[in-house]
Amino acid sequence: MKNIKLNNFRHLTLLLILLSACQENGYDGLANLTNIISEAPGINCERGGLKIETGLDINSNGILDKDEVDSNEFVCNGLNGLSYLSSYITEPKGINCEKGGIKVSFGLDSNNNGTLDDIEITSSTFLCNGVDANDLLTEISSILPGNNCDTGGTKIEYGLDVNGNGSLEKSEVSSTAYFCNGEEGKTSLIRIIEDKEGVCEKGGLIIVSGRDSNSDGNLSEEEIIETRSICNGVDGKINEEIRLVLHTNFSGATGVSGTGVNSYPALINFDKRNWSKAYSIYFSTYLKTDDSLNNAILDLYNMTFYQTIGSVSTNSTEFTNVVSDNIIDHLPEANINLYLYLRSSNVTDSVVWIRGKSELIIKQEY
């Protein structure tokens, strides 16, 4: 059992939204969603604590939007020197979670032993594995500041339930992801949802993380830094796709013409060796040109060794998603800084454009 004192935990504002197979579906098959977010000291919790929001996913976007919240529950830090604790334990397959999941419990540390004893639990909620993710288990825990996260954060371990006991044992952990607290006062947010978009052929989970730049407590599209698709594979394997954001421009588009080149810092300190199970790496972007005779070109550039790693191009006069070839062999076994360079194929007055999200896509298999 993982116990976390909320007095320390309030610095780790964790937003978990799990599309829950263990909760009853709402009207017309709509899913129930749960948000768990930190609550600052104030009228709801004198000493701060947690707010648990629940509601139906009316618009089926996998996110519990503000206007979809049906009920709020506040789990507050204790008074008179007592602290509220939260515990995270694996929930086996059963009545609470058909396919297993995580049980999150809360309560007041009445005996001041730093552990949330069963008798101290005042409320619990279940974060369940999806209906189709019957072989894939996840376990979530907080981590203190250290080598993996300078400011502390969250560790998510996942793997196949080899022995079928509904618990993710250490020997079954195939991969570990760290999601670190934001710097400069910006909170890191995590969203975990069951794959409903068909990204995973045999079902799986989607883990999205980023920094709450506008401090509204929601992880919006433009705030996403990393997306992981963890899929049930075949022959006891797990397939994973990680999307790292290289550049975003959701408010409009930027362009260049003639001999000009627009440069965009993308990933600093990227190291292919950190992705030891990777078998494919490529990048994706959205480009267009004003003149179909003048191609829009985007280079992924190794600024550390001054080398072009790969390029994509299009002569479409409408924004088009273009994807590179596999560039894994063109990335050095070294720590490098990656930039994007936007340019045109011809020296003309016509403008080439980039917009939306550009991503580095890493595919791994365990």
In order, the DSSP letters of 109-124 are -TT-SSS--GGGEEEE
Q: What's the average model confidence in pLDDT over 94-113?
A: 70
Residue 256's contacts (CB-CB under 8 Å, 6 or more residues apart) are 262, 342, 343, 344, 351, 352
Cα separation, 30 vs 72, whole angstroms: 19
| Mean pLDDT to the nearest integer, 163-190 | 69
Q: What is the pLDDT of residue 360?
A: 95
In this prediction, residues 245-262 reach a mean pLDDT of 80
Share of the chain above pLDDT 90, in %: 24
In this predicted model, which residue has the larger pLDDT, 209 or 349?
A: 349
Instruction: Work out the percent of the chain whose per-residue pLDDT is above 70.
Output: 65
User: Of 241, 172, 178, 160, which Cα lies nearest the Cα of 206?
Assistant: 241
Per-residue pLDDT tens for 120-159?
A: 776 666 666 554 444 567 776 767 777 777 777 777 777 7
More confident of the two residues 239 and 99: 239
Q: How confident is the model at residue 17 (pLDDT cuts 50, 70, 90)?
A: very low
Task: Report long-range pairs for 25-28 (Cβ below 8 Å, ≥24 apart).
Answer: 26/56, 26/57, 27/56
Contact indicator for 103, 22 with CB cutoff of 8 Å? no
Phi/psi for 238 (5° steps) reads -115, 130
- Mean pLDDT of the 209-215 span: 75
Averaged pLDDT for residues 23-38: 54
CB of 228 within 8 A of CB of 175?
Answer: no
Full DSSP string of 63-109: S--GGGEEEEEEEEPPSTT--EEEEEEEEPSSSS-TT-EEEEEEEE-
How high is the mean pLDDT of the chain?
A: 74
319 pLDDT above the threshold of 80: yes
Lowest mean pLDDT among 67-76, 163-172, 184-193, 352-361: 184-193
Residue that wins the pLDDT comparison between 235 and 298: 298
Task: Copy the structure tokens of residue 226.
Answer: 């990393």
Sheet of 175-180, strand order: 136-143, 153-160, 175-180
Report the distance separating Cα 229 and Cα 179, nearest Å: 15
pLDDT in tens, 43-78: 777 766 667 777 777 887 767 778 888 777 776 655
Instruction: Tell me the average pLDDT across 312-340.
Output: 96
Domains of the chain: 2-236 (no CATH), 247-365 (2.60.120.260)
Q: Of 275, 361, 263, which is closest to residue 321 (Cα–Cα)?
A: 361
Per-residue model confidence (pLDDT) at position 288 = 94
What is the sign of the dihedral through the CA atoms of 35, 38, 43 and 44?
A: positive
Distance, CA of 16 to CA of 140 (rounded, Å): 10
Q: Distances from the Cα of 157 to the Cαs of 167, 171, 207, in angstroms?
A: 12, 11, 12
Query: Residue 278, exposed/middle/buried by CB under 10 A (0-12, 13-18, 19+)?
Result: middle
For residue 186, the model assigns a pLDDT of 57
The set of long-range contacts for 214-219, using a CB threshold of 8 Å and a minimum separation of 24, is 215/186, 215/187, 217/15, 217/37, 217/189, 218/15, 218/63, 218/65, 218/66, 218/189, 219/15, 219/189, 219/190, 219/191
- Model confidence at 200, in pLDDT bands (50, 70, 90)? confident
Residue range 93-108: mean pLDDT, rounded: 70
